[in-house]
Amino acid sequence: MIEATFVTFLVGLLGATLRVATPLLFATIGELYTERSGVLNLGIEGIMFLGAFVGFAIAAKSAEAELAGYLWLGLGGAIVVGLIMGLLMAFFSVTLGVNQHVAGLGITLLSTGLALFGFRMIFGQSSVLPSIEPFAQLSIFGDLPILGPIFEQYLLTYVAFIVLLPLAWWLLYRTNYGLELRSVGENPEAADAAGVNVFRVRYITLALGAALMAIGGAFLSLAQLGAFSPGIIAGRGWVCIALVIFAKWDPIRAMWGALLFGGVFALQLRLQLLDLVDIPFEFFLALPYLVTIAALALAGRNVAYPGAYLKAYRRE
Amino acid sequence: MDRPNAIEMRHIYKRFGSLVASDHVNFTLRQGEIHALLGENGAGKTTLMRILYGLYHADSGEIVVNGQAAEIKSPKDAIAVGIGMVTQHFALVPPLTVTENIILGYTDGFQINLNEAHRRVAEASDKFGIPVEPKALVKDLSVGQRQRVEILKALYRNANVLIMDEPTAVLVPQEVEQLFESLERLRRQGLSVIFISHKLNEVMTITDRVTVLRLGQNAGTVETQSTSPPELARMMVGRETFGVTKTAGKPSQGKIVLELAQVAALDNKGLPALKNITLQVRAGEILGLAGVSGNGQTELAQVLDGTRLVTAGQIKVLNHDITNVGPEKVMAAGVGRIPEDRHESVVAELSVAQNMALEHLDEFTRQGVLNKKTLLEHAKKLIAEYQIKASPGDKIRTLSGGNMQKVILARVLERNPQVIIVAQPTRGLDVGATEYVRGKLLEQRRKGAAILLISEDLDEILELADTIAVIYEGEIMDILPAAAAETERLGLLMSGVKADKVGA
């Protein structure tokens, strides 16, 4: 009897882990690609937030107009706004060559401000948060005994783990673009001398990376919550920055990092429900972040940063 | 000898701010020749070649490749017309494999077939006779191996003109020999080579023709066979004098001043960098420490000036133990240091006068307040004495390398140190400044200082040292009097071949 409860608990936990890890995986891969090109994009938190907002706003308005694929329109909108923010970051860090910390934080402030402003403009101030009917969970192996619930996931979760992850690995290590990307981030002078257009590779990568961050944000508003609130991202962008270092800039390790955070997050939700005496629920809320810091402290020492990390490239 | 020209550069003009780096230079490269571009540092050799390779853009002038006007705006354009360049600081990406580095920017299609790429690189390696290991990571390769990767990279792109920017600066003599053999073979296969150098003997050995640049201008092109080192030297510097002479090499009988006994130390990664180093330097002696860079020289210099901890052994100056006492006490014991990286031994944003006082500020303060007047007088005196082209108030970063080195030299030598630890003192300096620095070191030797000269420039060590020690992977391979040191023997020692095998 106890065993059965435990199995149910474990299965639920695993399912939730994958769900929580999905937006992190999108955004972490986005940041990982960006950093591999030699640019740190601290705009990630804001871009996720803006992606969540734009996705939600477009979906909500499209739903009002009774458009069938309103969620997909929202997702598309989030991707577009992500691309734009990525290009803006590229303009600052690649073309102008300004300090990447400042440019990135500027993007986060700008994106956050835009999203909050847009939210107020479109939805006004109401006591009830506006909501939409979110993406439904697929149950591909739903009738599988015991393990079935693990596979009850959103399409985007399947996309993240089965499409995005292998694609990110293949693109990075087995294609021309990936080779150029890695060399641009390690030694742009060498890449330039070999005939690689450093600026173009960085522009493309920053745009793609930011689009992935925006998808990560939109997943929260369009799938997991079906709503948008000012606290929706809750520092997940900063967690992704840490996960990239934890991952040592490798997509597969990034997946383990996202799963670790997702696992602890899912676990703390369940621990809160257990109603343990005397431990305030804020402690549980903080737990995933603490684990991230601990994991980073253990795995992130003596890591080899990309050679051109934080450096703008200038031909003399 | 009338072959068509591979490259013609006509009236190339380029200025950086107020500096004219290339002043209407004409340069012609024939097909199938090795052509040296000779000149002092700052003469415009590298600038001219960077223009040819598309890394710089000329303000005016034209480039003709195989009889056709070529517009070279980027390395990509240069590669397209068959020009390859091996730069001084290798343009390689260390974490990538040899194959990845070679095919970078030169692949077709989107996906890379790694097996196919390995095969093609191996094929090219065979075809051009340049051995490389396709799957090795570049970061694991020696400098000589990396250079081969660079050459193969250019040839893989079908280069028929190869620019080599001071290719021998980083190599041990045996590697230089190998390189020359490869170049000679490639030349017979039809490759044209531009060989940038400031070493006369190399130029005499390997090239067919020499073009000398001086102050951004073409000082003349000559056939190597019909010229001589003194003539080339005169063309380079515009005057005949060349080199400093050491007063005859009788081994110093002075007392032992600096003594290292079984010294060991770790590098920044915590790995052993120095093992069991035992050295003695006498008064009036220059001990030259030869070795390929990265074999513990940097750590040894740091151990001696007190900025790195010794893990075993003992360092003594005139029988005073100075092991691990810290830089201040080391200096007080009479040790002067002229570090490897001159930019690290000055504070760029401070003035010449302030930098000159930096190592003994206490002498310029009254109750903790700097006395500007003494500071200024002190600076004026040294500037005059050491012929430094700067005024006391100039920020040190505005000085040329030679003048910056003179400031450091003045700061150290005015205190008449008994021991001088000097590392790479003439790296990046032009002939005039080099001569000056070496002259000063010899002057200190005459005055009875014990000098440890750490240099990767073997010619410098052969020219200055009385005794030569060779370091390899943190160990002293051998110590021998300069008179007995032949280049070949030193080269073997520098590449780790033990003394007992050398004689065989």
- Asked whether residue B221 falls in the same domain as residue B280, the answer is no
pLDDT confidence bin for A1, thresholds 50/70/90: low
Q: How far apart are CA B476 and CA B494, in angstroms?
A: 10
The pLDDT averaged over each successive group of 10 residues in chain B (504 residues) is 80 86 94 91 86 93 94 91 89 94 89 94 93 93 91 94 89 88 93 88 91 90 89 71 50 85 89 92 94 86 92 93 92 90 86 89 84 91 90 86 90 92 87 88 93 88 92 91 82 72 44
Cβ–Cβ < 8 Å for B444, B410: no
Q: Is residue B304 part of a domain?
A: yes
Q: Which residues in chain A have Cβ-Cβ distances shorter than 8 Å to B53?
A: 193
Q: For A242-292, how does the pLDDT look when each residue is reduced to its tens digit (9 = 90+)? A: 999 999 999 999 999 999 999 999 999 888 887 766 788 888 889 999 998
Give me the phi and psi of B412, to 5 degrees please.
Answer: -80, -50
Q: Is residue B165 part of a domain?
A: yes
Residue B139 tokens, joined: 């970061």
- Nearest residue on chain B to A175, alpha-carbon basis: B111
Q: Which residues in chain A have Cβ-Cβ distances shorter than 8 Å to B105?
A: 180, 191, 194-196
Give me the phi and psi of B28, to 5 degrees please.
Answer: -125, 130
- Asked whether residue B305 falls in the same domain as residue B408, the answer is yes
Element (H, E) at A241: helix A236-246
Q: Which residues in chain A have Cβ-Cβ distances shorter than 8 Å to B138?
A: none
Q: Which residues in chain A have Cβ-Cβ distances shorter than 8 Å to B55?
A: 192-193, 315-316
Residue A120 tokens, joined: 């107020």
Q: Which of B73, B87, B92, B93 to mutate to probe the A interface, most A CBs <10 Å?
A: B93
- Asked whether residue B180 falls in the same domain as residue B320, the answer is no
| H helix intervals, B386-474 | 401-413, 431-446, 458-464
Nearest chain A CA: its distance from B151 CA (Å):
12
- Nearest residue on chain A to B47, alpha-carbon basis: A316
Q: For A40-57, how does the pLDDT look when each residue is reduced to its tens digit (9 = 90+)? A: 999 999 999 999 999 999
Q: Which among A186, A189, A194 is the nearest to B105, CB-wise?
A: A194
Q: Is residue B28 part of a domain?
A: yes
Q: Which among B53, B56, B92 is the nearest to A190, CB-wise?
A: B92
Q: Is residue B249 part of a domain?
A: no
* Ramachandran region, residue B164 (left: φ > 0; alpha: ψ -120 to 50; beta: rest): beta
Cβ–Cβ < 8 Å for B84, B155: yes
Question: Hey, are the CB atoms on A316 and B56 less than 8 Å from each other?
Answer: yes
What local confidence, expressed as pLDDT, does residue B276 receive?
A: 93
Q: Which among B91, B95, B103 is the nearest to A193, CB-wise?
A: B91
- Nearest residue on chain A to B16, alpha-carbon basis: A316
What local confidence, expressed as pLDDT, does residue B502 receive?
A: 45
- Asked whether residue B385 falls in the same domain as residue B466, the answer is yes
Q: CA-CA distances (angstroms) from residue A283 to A265, A268, A276, A278, B132?
A: 12, 9, 12, 11, 57
- Nearest residue on chain A to B92, alpha-carbon basis: A190
- Asked whether residue B218 falls in the same domain as residue B269, the answer is no
pLDDT > 80? residue A175: yes
Question: Hey, are the CB atoms on B110 and A174 less than 8 Å from each other?
Answer: no
Range ranked top by mean pLDDT from A81-90, A307-316, B49-58, B353-362: A81-90
Identify the domain boundary among B237, B267, B288: B237
Q: Is residue B340 part of a domain?
A: yes
Number of domains within chain B: 2
Range ranked top by mean pLDDT from A98-107, A142-151, B206-215, B230-239: A98-107
What local confidence, expressed as pLDDT, does residue B399 receive?
A: 83
Question: Hey, are the CB atoms on A195 and B153 less than 8 Å from each other?
Answer: no
List domains and CATH numbers for chain A.
Answer: 14-131+153-299 (1.10.3470)
Q: Which residues in chain B have Cβ-Cβ distances shorter than 8 Å to A193?
A: 53, 55, 75, 85, 87, 91
**C-alpha dihedral (A183, B170, B47, A180), degrees to nearest 10:** -10
Q: Which among B55, B100, B105 is the nearest to A315, CB-wise?
A: B55
Q: Which among A183, A192, A304 is the nearest to B75, CB-wise?
A: A192
- Asked whether residue B179 falls in the same domain as residue B56, the answer is yes
Q: Is residue B244 part of a domain?
A: no
Interface residues on B facing A, Cβ-Cβ cutoff 8 A: 53, 55-56, 74-76, 79, 85, 87, 89-96, 100-101, 103-107, 109-112, 114, 153
Longest dimension (CA), chain A: 72
Q: For B29-42, how does the pLDDT look when each residue is reduced to its tens digit (9 = 90+)? A: 999 999 999 887 67
- Asked whether residue B27 falls in the same domain as residue B138, the answer is yes
Identify the domain boundary among B237, B272, B294: B237
DSSP A175: B
Nearest chain A CA: its distance from B87 CA (Å):
9
Q: Which among A186, A187, A191 is the nearest to B105, CB-wise?
A: A191
Nearest chain B CA: its distance from A97 CA (Å):
19
- Asked whether residue B90 falls in the same domain as residue B219, the answer is yes
Q: Which residues in chain B have Cβ-Cβ distances shorter than 8 Å to A187?
A: 91-94
Tell which residue, A207, A220, A202, has the closest CA to residue A80: A207
Question: Hey, are the CB atoms on B104 and A179 less than 8 Å from each other?
Answer: yes
What local confidence, expressed as pLDDT, does residue B465 receive?
A: 93
Q: How far apart are CA A41 and CA A238, in angstroms?
A: 10
Domain that holds residue B376: 256-502
Name B5's bridge partners: B30
**The whole model's pTM is what?**
0.77
Q: Is residue B250 part of a domain?
A: no
Helices (H) and strands (E) counted in chain A, each on its own, are 12, 2
Q: Which among B53, B93, B107 is the nearest to A190, CB-wise?
A: B93
| H helix intervals, B239-343 | 297-305, 327-332
Q: Is residue B75 part of a domain?
A: yes
What local confidence, expressed as pLDDT, does residue B21 receive?
A: 87
Domain CATH code at residue B157: 3.40.50.300
Give the count of Cβ contacts less than 8 A between chain A and B: 79
